[in-house]
Amino acid sequence: MEKIQSAIAKARDARSKLAPAGGDSPGAAPGQLRPAAYGAAGAVPAVWAALPAFVPNAPLLVRNRIVTHAGGAEAVDFDVMRTRLLQQMRANGWRRVAVTSPGASCGKTTIVLNLGFSLARQADTRTVVAELDLRRPSIARTLGLKPRAGFAGVLTGEAAFEDCVSCYNGNLAIATNQGPVRNSAELLAGPTVAAALSDVESRYDPTLMIVDMPPMLVSDDVMAFAGQVDCVLLVAAAESSTIKEIDACERDLAAQTNVLGVVLNKCRYTERSAGYGAYG
C-alpha cells in the first residue's frame, strides 16, 4: 500500500509541474485544453518541467486550423506526416528540420504547429518548435502566447531560451518572437547562431527541432540559415506555387542541405479513400 501511495504522490507532483502558473490543470477555463499525462516514457525531465507551461485555448486553435492537439479524424494527415518525418530523421540520424515555402500564404506555419502538437501526443518524443520567420512572426498570436523575449535574442545571446518559450504537455517547447526583427538575414548568418542552437540541444536534448522559416523567394533569410539544419521540408500551395518556383527552391536548398520532400498544401480535392478510418 505504501508503494502505491508513493507512486500516486509522484504522479500528482509530475502533473503539478505541467500546470500553468495560474493554477492546476484541472481548473483550466472552459474551452482550454488540459495537458495530457506525459505517458509511459516516464517522468518529465527536470529541465523541461522547469519551462513556462501553457494550456492552449481549444477554440483558438481550431479557428487557426491547428487540429492535431486532440487527435481524431482531422489529425490523420498530419499524423501520417509526423510518422514519416520521424522515420526519415531517425534513419539518417538527423535532428533539425526547417520548414519553408516558395512564397507567402502556403500554410507552412500551420503545418509546423500541427506537426508539433501531433508529436506532443507521442510520449517518447520531445520537440522544440523554433520560430525564425523573423520578418513576419505569427506563432505567438496564433496560439495566444505572450513571450517575455524573442527567440531571435537567443540566437544573438541577448535573451534566455526560457524567456521566449512556452511548453505544452512537458514535451513540446515552442519558441516564439514578440514582433518583427530587423536585419534578419544578417542575424541568421551571424557567428553566434550555431553555438546558440547547440546549447539548446545540449541542455534540452530534443528528439526534433522544427524551425519555421520565412518563404524562400521573398528574402535571403532561408539561404542564410540553411546550413544550420540537417534537412528542409518545402511546403507548396496548390494552384498557387508553380513547378518552376518549386524546382528553383529545391535546387538552391540542395546546394546547402538535404531536401526532405515537398508537401502540397491547400488541395481542394482529395481522393475518396482519404476519408477511410474517419471514426471515433
Give the tens place of pLDDT for each residue, 4-52. Answer: 344 334 434 543 443 333 333 333 444 445 444 444 445 778 999 999 9
User: Is residue 194 within 8 Å of 59, Cβ to Cβ?
Assistant: no
The pLDDT score that the predictor gives to residue 269 is 57
pLDDT band for position 205 (50/70/90)?
very high
Residue 66, phi-psi category: left (phi > 0), alpha (psi -120 to 50), beta (remainder): beta
pLDDT band for position 277 (50/70/90)?
very low
CB atoms within 10 A of CB 39: 14
Q: Tell me the pLDDT tens digit for each residue of 216-252.
A: 999 999 999 999 999 999 999 988 899 999 999 999 9
Identify the helix (H) or strand (E) that includes residue 208: strand 208-212
Give the closest residue to 47 by CA, choosing from 162, 136, 157: 162
Cα Rg for the chain, rounded, in angstroms? 19
Who contacts 136 (Cβ-Cβ below 8 Å, separation ≥6)? 180, 214
pTM for the model = 0.82
